[in-house]
Homo-oligomer: A and B are copies of this chain.
Amino acid sequence: MTPLDTEARNRDLPPLGETGWQAVPGRDALRKVWKFRNFSQAWGFMSRVALEAERLNHHPEWRNVYNLVDVTLTTHDCNGLSTLDIKLAKAMDRIAGPAEVAPQDGAPVLSLCQERAAGRGA
């Protein structure tokens, strides 16, 4: 797995920002929180995402409390975002459909639109 390069960041991150994904302060990671109507609906979402995660062999960090599902995506093997995170984020958006997105206190996803290698070189 290679880190997401500048071109891919500029292309793929802004649309995710528009659906409610945000940057995790201090990490090269995406986060989104869904608020479903109840546990059943949250669990139906998680059950479908689990299938996709295993298919991609790429798994989320996620936390569930009743109707809330709080997801953080990053790729541990490359210590930051990779194309797998983009794929899994898009799949989650597709599966969640019109479910409510809960507010979080993250940074704009645009702050992730820089090549990390460049950042580290600075």
Contact = CB atoms under 8 A, between A and B. Distances in A.
Contacts of A65: 59-62
Contact of A44 (B47, B57, B61, B66): B47
A52 to B, nearest CB: 7
A13 B55 CA distance: 26
A53 interface: yes
Interface in A38-76: 39-41, 43-45, 47-48, 50-55, 57, 59-66
Contacts of A63: 61-64
A8 interface: no
Contact of A51 (B45, B54, B95): B54
A65 B60 CA distance: 6
B51 A43 contact: yes
